[in-house]
Structure 1
């Protein structure tokens, strides 16, 4: 049986093995691709695919995540007036690079009874928003009680 370079390339990509391993597996299985794959699998020689930075599927996945995050808006409002409306990607990046400051600002937003929402273009209500409301209400009511107690002193 004559093994072609094309067969070796296909097996190499499928099993993530070297040229030599692919050639040997094909030779041992008379050029049968399925049998060669099975043989490599039984020998535990199939290597899991690693993430390669140059791999276009990895880059496409990153682009897809960025596009989805750009469609989701981080909105802060008070008394039905929008105070801040930015993409969630930008909000995440700001949060990462200015963590202590953004954490303090987030606490101030909650304490001052502003509403935080994550909105998608279709204006559907997300379950996360009700959880954000619950945390905001708890923090706000606790803060109000502390301030009231402090004023009574």
Structure 2
């Protein structure tokens, strides 16, 4: 059953008479959107300029819904297209890769720098070949190699202090296996 409010709303939205609005709503069993579409197909009303769309919701109800949903919170991805989101992702990934290329993992033996690997390469190695990379690094610790990070983001003292402590633990473990005490004396004496 079509209500007077529906007829009045369609009449205002489509700028048609009460009789036309009532007939259009009765044809669609009170579906406002379907009635507007039918009127457009019959060329009794003009579609919106620019290929827009009609909304069958009451604008007052839209305002109430915005108030209840907390429209003050900004959602930055609302209405963003897939291409825009993809562009944001690639810009973010580019920044991360750039930072990884500026920072290095240096391999040091007896105070000499053997090599420096960009953190980006290290991350790729750890991601795709962790079963080789991690054991090689651990074995390197037991052969006296030390690892430090250098660069503007990772060359911090606390990061390298952690790496030094790992190297010290490996050295102590190696000495215990050999039978030496931590003060350098042989435990066989």
**TM-score after normalising by structure 1:** 0.64
1:39 positional shift: 3.9
Give 1:130's aligned residue: 161
- Bigger radius of gyration among the two: 2
Give 1:70's aligned residue: 101
Q: Alignment partner for residue 104 of structure 1, among 104, 128, 135?
A: 135
Greater percentage in helix: 1
Q: Alignment partner for residue 88 of structure 2, among 18, 37, 57?
A: 57
State the distance in 1 between where 2:82 and 2:107 align.
36
Give 2:19's aligned residue: none
Structure 1: state its 5+ residue gaps. Answer: 9-18
Distance 1:122-1:100 versus aligned 2 partners, 3 A rule: closer
Question: When the two structures are aligned, how many residues end up with a matched partner?
Answer: 131
Higher relative contact order (CA 8 A, sep 6+): 1
Map 1:1-153 to 2 at 5 A. Answer: 23=55, 28-29=59-60, 35=63, 38-39=66-67, 41=69, 49=77, 54=83, 55=85, 56-121=87-152, 124-148=155-179
Aligned-CA RMSD value: 4.2
Ranges of 4+ aligned residues in structure 1 off by more than 3 Å: 46-54, 121-126
Structure 2: state its 5+ residue gaps. Answer: 1-11, 14-47, 181-186
